């Protein structure tokens, strides 16, 4: 399978993933060819394929079809987007509003309340929810009272099932032990600290200064309060990062021992994200350095006992995410890897994306447009897509590769009543070059991602992306390496 450490395809006495040792076995030509831009596949079709022709009317029709569907529907996931931040992080590509006017939080809650009404009106009251996630922006921009009000509204609108996974993203600069205790009292049992890097120079370069000691204390507080899981977000490829500076950050992260680690590659897209124009391009590590940072991180985490869940996620063996990976129950959605079964998602707030059956719908990205639609009693949906049968087949293939590192032909045939080797004849032919590069192994039974291939799993999955292969317009995506 695909969770083993990367090892060189040539003879060497060096242990795989030895921190600080040059990753010399990747030919520059391979890095240039496969380390280019590509989707992260938190959905398929990817969000950039959504169209304005799929609007409020189509979204409502999808809800009607859901209600008329046979049998009992699976529990829902709910995502709440809180767009506000007090200060601007230069690397950020999220939909956010930078402001110190906290009164805007109360105004936003009224809008969320109106959108929740639309959902309950169409889903019926007290629909079952097994996963809840607050993201942003900075959800802890809201006051304790506002967070209490929002949690109470969600409990009133939906049935929070026993064992619900309720998580919230936290900027460590915005919380104290008392605030963590309050979040726990509201039902949150998983938290995620946005750290990115502990090096002071890197923090200054991205305008996000938060000392290691501050995060360390909050980690101790979370443990003592008894949160079920603590995640830590890191980014490699940030300006001024070096192998030496990042090695220190990795050692500090391992010392704090979060249950999960999300290691993202910085995507420098200044033409799309205005804040990134404040980052000097010359300060961004070169591709070979970014690869080294990635390899060093994997080495450090594996040595510390973490399991490599997938492209950018790591977890301790006892964590639910690691257990799901071992048992083949891993899934992927807009929040990354998850243990939740594949099902419908309610997205609340500006820019939030919902999934209802085979359809996706995204809300307006500005508060003004979002508020205007709700004031008229309309869904604030501005674009989306209805998946075709071909999309669903390809989604299964892509998610199998991204989550299990294996595309099993028989499983795909049973699920979609196709002959995968005929259906994907062109794709399997295209994969031959990646097989020659040692990224995949192709047999009569399956396509397996190799340890080396995990560095480029997005490139492997992209072979099955009909939309991407049709236009090859990749400048909108982050670099794979």
> Is the CB of residue 128 less than 8 Å from the CB of residue 76?
yes
CA distance 449 to 435: 9
Question: What is the distance between the alpha carbons of residues 341 and 72, in angstroms, rounded to a whole number?
Answer: 15
Which residues are CB-contacts of 375 (< 8 A; sequence separation ≥ 6)?
A: none
* Strand order, beta sheet including 446-449: 406-408, 446-449, 440-442
Residue 148 domain-assigned (yes or no): yes
Q: Are residues 446 and 332 in the same domain?
A: no
Would residue 25 count as lying in a domain?
A: no
Q: Does residue 40 lie within any of the structural domains?
A: no
pLDDT in tens, 325-384: 888 888 888 878 888 877 899 999 999 999 999 999 999 999 999 999 999 999 999 999
Whether 196 has a binding-site annotation, put simply, is yes
Q: Is residue 138 part of a domain?
A: yes
Does residue 409 share a domain with residue 337?
A: no
DSSP string of 380-396? -EEEEEE--HHHHHHHH
Q: Which residues contact 335 (CB under 8 A, 6 or more apart)?
A: 42, 79, 133, 135
Examine the fold and report which residue of 325, 347, 369 is the final residue of a domain before the chain moves on.
Answer: 347
- Of 316, 347, 378, which closes a domain? 347
Q: Is 137 annotated as a binding residue?
A: yes
Q: 422 and 299 in one domain? A: no
Residue 381 lies in a domain: no
Is residue 229 one of the residues assigned to a domain? Answer: yes
Assess whether 136 and 216 both reside in one domain.
Answer: yes
CA dist 27 and 46 (Å) reads: 30
189 lies in the same domain as 317: yes
Q: How far apart are CA 268 and CA 92, in angstroms?
A: 9
Least Cα distance to 467 among 376, 398, 419 occurs for 398
Q: Is 136 annotated as a binding residue?
A: yes
Mean pLDDT of 222-243: 96
Residues 291, 432 within the same domain: no
Does residue 138 have a known ligand-binding role?
yes
Tokens 């980690």 sit on residue: 219
How many CA within 13 A on the CB side of residue 250? 25
Which pLDDT does position 479 carry in this prediction? Answer: 58
pLDDT of residue 73: 79
pTM: 0.88
89 annotated among ligand-binding-site residues: yes
Q: Domain limits at 293? A: 47-347
**Percent of the chain at pLDDT exceeding 70:** 90
Number of structural domains (the chain) is 2
CA distances for 75 relative to 121, 346, 394, angstroms = 17, 11, 24
Query: Does residue 476 have a pLDDT over 70?
Result: no
Non-local CB neighbours of 102 within 8 Å, separated by 6+ positions: 141, 143
Contact criterion met (CB below 8 Å) for 335 and 166? no
Q: According to the model, what pLDDT value does residue 481 have?
A: 56
In tens, the pLDDT along 259-278 reads: 999 998 888 889 888 889 99
Whether 106 is covered by a domain: the verdict is yes
The reply to whether 312 and 442 lie within a common domain is no
Q: Count other C-beta atoms under 10 Å from residue 372's C-beta.
A: 13
- What is the phi/psi pair of residue 453, to 5°? -65, -20
What pLDDT, on a 0 to 100 scale, did the predictor assign at position 101? 94
Q: Are 312 and 398 contained in the same domain?
A: no
Rounded to the nearest 5°, which phi and psi values hold at 233? -95, 135
Give pairs for 351-357: CB < 8 Å, separation 24+: 351/81, 351/83, 351/95, 352/79, 352/80, 352/81, 353/43, 353/47, 353/79, 354/59, 354/381, 355/43, 356/59, 356/62, 356/63, 356/66, 357/62, 357/65, 357/66, 357/69
Q: What is the pLDDT of residue 3?
A: 37
Same domain? For 112 and 233 the reply is: yes
Tell whether residue 93 is among the known ligand binding residues: yes
With beta carbons less than 8 A apart as the criterion, state whether 241 and 297 touch. no
Q: Is 208 annotated as a binding residue?
A: yes
21 is a domain residue: no
Residue 70 vs residues 65, 73, 120, 146, 404: alpha-carbon distances, Å: 10, 8, 20, 38, 30
Average pLDDT for residues 41-52, to the nearest whole number?
92
* More reliable by pLDDT, 205 or 2: 205
DSSP secondary structure letter of residue 187: T
Q: In the prediction, which pLDDT does 299 show?
A: 87
Per-residue pLDDT of 452-461, as tens digits, reads 787 788 889 9
Q: Which pLDDT does position 380 carry in this prediction?
A: 98
Q: What is the predicted pLDDT for the residue at 362?
A: 97
Enumerate the β-bridge partners of residue 384: 51, 361
| Segment of 40-44, 161-165, 289-293 carrying the highest mean pLDDT | 161-165
Domain end, chosen from 287, 316, 347, is at: 347
CATH number for position 405: 1.10.10.920
Asked if residues 412 and 398 have their Cβ atoms less than 8 Å apart, the reply is no
Distance CA 397, CA 182 (A): 42
403 is in an annotated binding site: no
Considering the domain architecture, whether residues 270 and 135 belong to the same structural domain is answered as: yes
Residue 94 annotated as binding?
no
Instruction: Report how far Cα 152 is from the mean position of its chain's Cα atoms.
Output: 26
78 forms beta bridges with 132, 346
Domain harbouring 118, CATH code = 3.80.30.20
Residues 331, 234 share a domain: yes
Taking CA 420 as the corner, what is the angle to CA 460 and CA 410, rounded to the nearest 5 degrees?
A: 100
């Amino acid at each position: 399978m695909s969770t083993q450490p990367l090892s060189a395809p040539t003879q060497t006495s060096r242990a795989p993933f030895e921190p600080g040792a040059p990753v010399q076995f990747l030919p520059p030509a391979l890095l240039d060819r496969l380390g280019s831009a590509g989707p992260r596949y938190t959905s398929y079709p990817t969000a950039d394929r959504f169209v304005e022709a799929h609007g409020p009317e189509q979204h409502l029709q999808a809800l009607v079809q859901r209600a008329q569907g046979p049998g009992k529907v699976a529990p829902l996931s709910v995502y709440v987007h809180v767009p506000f931040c007090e200060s601007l992080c230069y690397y950020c590509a999220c939909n956010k509003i930078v402001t110190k006017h906290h009164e805007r939080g109360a105004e936003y809650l009224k809008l969320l309340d109106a959108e929740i009404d639309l959902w309950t009106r169409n889903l019926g009251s007290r629909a079952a929810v097994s996963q809840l996630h607050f993201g942003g922006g900075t959800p802890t921009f809201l006051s304790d009272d506002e967070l209490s009000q929002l949690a109470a509204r969600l409990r009133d609108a939906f049935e929070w099932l026993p064992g619900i996974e309720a998580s919230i993203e936290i900027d460590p600069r915005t919380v104290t032990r008392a605030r963590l205790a309050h979040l726990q009292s509201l039902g949150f049992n998983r938290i995620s600290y946005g750290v990115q890097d502990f090096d002071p120079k890197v923090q200054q370069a991205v305008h996000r200064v938060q000392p290691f000691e501050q995060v360390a204390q909050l980690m101790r507080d979370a443990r003592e309060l008894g949160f079920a899981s603590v995640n830590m977000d890191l980014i490699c490829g940030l300006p001024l990062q070096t192998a030496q500076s990042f090695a220190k950050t990795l050692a500090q992260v391992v010392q704090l021992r979060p249950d999960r680690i999300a290691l993202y590659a910085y995507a420098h897209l200044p033409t799309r994200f205005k804040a990134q124009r404040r980052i000097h391009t010359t300060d961004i590590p070169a591709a070979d350095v970014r690869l080294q940072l990635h390899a060093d991180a994997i080495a450090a985490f594996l040595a510390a006992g973490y399991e490599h869940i997938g492209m950018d996620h790591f977890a301790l063996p006892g964590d639910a995410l690691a257990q799901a990976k071992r048992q083949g129950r891993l899934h992927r959605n807009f929040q990354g890897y998850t243990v939740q079964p594949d099902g419908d998602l309610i997205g609340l707030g500006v820019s939030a994306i919902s999934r209802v059956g085979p359809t996706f719908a995204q809300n307006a990205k500005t508060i003004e447009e979002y508020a205007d639609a709700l004031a008229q009693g309309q869904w604030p949906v501005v674009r989306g897509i209805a998946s075709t049968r071909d999309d669903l087949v390809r989604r299964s293939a892509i998610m199998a590769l991204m989550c299990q590192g294996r595309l099993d032909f028989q499983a795909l045939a049973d699920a979609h009543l196709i002959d995968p080797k005929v259906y994907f004849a062109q794709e399997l032919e295209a994969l031959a070059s990646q097989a020659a590069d040692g990224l995949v192994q192709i047999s009569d039974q399956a396509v397996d991602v190799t340890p080396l291939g995990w560095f480029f799993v997005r490139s492997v999955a992209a072979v099955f992306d009909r939309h991407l292969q049709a236009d090859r317009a990749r400048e909108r995506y982050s670099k794979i390496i």
